[in-house]
């Protein structure tokens, strides 16, 4: 079944890198340019991958990149497709998937709050879980949680 | 007559035997409360029952880690409770942060922000430990040593300063329903 999905993607998109991870037969990882994410997501949605499982973000600080990972699931084939794309860490911007899936809002809001990634075209990137947070987004690798905790919570106010 | 009764030994004996617990659960410690309250261990043997409203409760049990966001609500709740009121810090998270000691979101030492009468150590403390803590609290109440709520009034400035250090915007609670 996975081969069918790989064929389908390869037949319609030329420059995508497709990996089937070892020991995980029901998964397909595709790495694409950030401009192509929406196009491929739309294509997969029309071909059975109707469910957006999650969007998540990885901070590759040494490369200077954020990696966005979109998980799509097909109820018929029972296959997970992960669309991976790397975006610039200094100017993290990506096109929103709101027009395709409404539930993208939750994930995009969270990634915006925790990593500082802007999603172009998403009107609702308001504060989400954190309350009165000042300073850099806490899930970035250059945020020192231990130091912040020691300064803020380990000493009494003077 | 009434004044001397309120602070007297008999009153304290009664107080120690009707500790009403505020049903406010934070963190993972809340999972130990259902077995303590239900028939196997049965907290009600000691006159301890869960209360829904802070106005009717005597004991605030902080069951586990507190994020800054929750701490704000806990302090509002604590200030709504009537005297005499007692705080029990449950689990290592309230003592030194526990396994969340280096998290950006959770406080480490509860007694910077609220006066704590009894601590329960461990992660997780079993229902037996909850009983041990309640019996210790009862003993302290009978001896007149559980004075956390008085200390909160005396050292109010200090507690407030510590709270303000972690709350950037206190007023946000009032905007909610």
DSSP B91: S
CATH code of the domain in which B62 resides: 3.40.50.12280
**C-alpha angle B75/B122/B21, rounded to 5°?**
40
Which residue of B lies nearest to A134 if distances are taken between CA atoms?
B168
- Residue A101 tokens, joined: 């899936």
Spell out the CATH class of A2-153.
alpha beta
pLDDT tens per residue, range A32-55: 998 889 999 999 999 889 999 999
CB-based contact, A91 to chain B, within 8 Å: no
Nearest CA to CA, how far is A101 from chain B (Å)? 29
- Asked if A130 and B164 come within 8 Å (Cβ–Cβ), the reply is no
Give me the tens of pLDDT residue by residue for chain B, a chain 177 residues long: 555 666 688 888 888 888 899 888 888 888 888 888 888 988 888 888 888 899 999 999 998 888 888 898 899 999 999 988 999 999 898 898 888 888 888 889 888 999 999 999 988 888 899 899 999 999 999 888 888 888 999 999 999 888 888 887 665 554 444
With H, G, I as helix, E, B as strand and everything else as coil, classify residue A30. strand
Q: Is residue B171 part of a domain?
A: no
Residue numbers of the domain that contains B127: 19-166
> What's the CA gap between B5 and A31, in Å, rounded?
76
What is the rounded CA–CA span in Å between residue A70 and residue A83? 5
In this complex, the residue of B104, B108, B172 whose CB is nearest that of residue A138 is: B104
B176 located within any domain: no
**Set of chain A residues whose Cβ sits within 8 Å of the Cβ of B162:** 156-157
CA distances from B147 to A53, A68, B100 (A): 52, 53, 29
Q: Which residues of B touch A150 (CB under 8 A)?
A: 102
How many structural domains comprise chain B? 1
**Would residue B98 count as lying in a domain?**
yes
Kindly indicate the confidence band of residue A157, based on its pLDDT and cuts at 50, 70 and 90: low
Q: Render A74-134 in DSSP notation, one character per residue.
A: ETTTTEEEEEEEEEESSS-EEE--TTT-TTHHHHHHHHHHHH--EEET-TT----SSSS--
Q: How far is CA B13 from the centre of its chain?
A: 20
Contact B138, B75 (CB under 8 A): no
Whether B154 is covered by a domain: the verdict is yes
Q: Do A143 and B104 touch (CB under 8 A)?
A: yes
Q: Are B63 and B94 in contact (CB under 8 A)?
A: no
Half-sphere exposure of B167 (CA within 13 A, CB side): 20
Helix axis angle for B127-143 and B9-16, nearest 10°, is 170
B108 to A153: CB separation less than 8 angstroms, yes or no: yes
- Domain ranges in chain A are 2-153
């Amino acid at each position: 079944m996975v081969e069918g999905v790989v064929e389908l993607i390869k037949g319609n998109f030329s420059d995508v890198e497709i990996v089937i991870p070892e020991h995980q037969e029901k998964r397909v990882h595709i790495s694409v340019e950030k401009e192509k994410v929406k196009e491929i997501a739309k294509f997969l949605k029309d071909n059975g991958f109707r469910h957006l499982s999650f969007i998540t973000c990885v901070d590759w600080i040494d490369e200077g990149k954020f990696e966005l990972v979109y998980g799509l699931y097909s109820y018929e084939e029972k296959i997970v497709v992960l669309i991976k794309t790397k975006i610039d860490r200094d100017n993290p911007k990506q096109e929103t998937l709101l027009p395709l899936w409404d539930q993208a809002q939750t994930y995009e809001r969270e990634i915006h709050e925790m990593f500082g990634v802007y999603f172009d075209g998403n009107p609702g990137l308001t504060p989400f879980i954190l309350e009165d947070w000042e300073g850099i987004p806490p899930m970035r690798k250059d945020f020192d949680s231990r130091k912040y905790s020691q300064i803020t919570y380990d000493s009494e106010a003077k | 007559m009434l004044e001397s009764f309120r602070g007297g030994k008999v009153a304290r004996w009664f107080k120690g035997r009707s500790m009403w617990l505020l049903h406010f659960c934070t963190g993972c410690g809340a999972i130990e409360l259902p077995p303590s309250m239900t028939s196997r261990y049965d907290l009600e043997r000691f006159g301890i029952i869960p209360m829904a409203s802070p106005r009717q409760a005597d004991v605030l049990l902080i069951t586990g880690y507190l994020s800054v966001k929750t701490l704000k609500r806990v302090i509002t709740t604590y200030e709504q409770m009537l005297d005499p009121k007692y705080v029990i810090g449950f689990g290592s998270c309230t003592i030194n942060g526990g396994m969340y000691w280096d998290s950006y979101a959770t406080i480490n030492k509860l007694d910077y922000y609220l006066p704590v009468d009894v601590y329960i150590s461990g992660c997780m403390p079993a229902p037996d430990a909850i009983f041990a803590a309640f019996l210790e609290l009862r003993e302290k109440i009978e001896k007149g040593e559980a004075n956390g709520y008085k200390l909160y009034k005396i050292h109010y400035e200090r507690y407030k300063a510590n709270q303000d250090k972690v709350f950037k915007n206190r007023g946000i609670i009032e905007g909610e329903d």
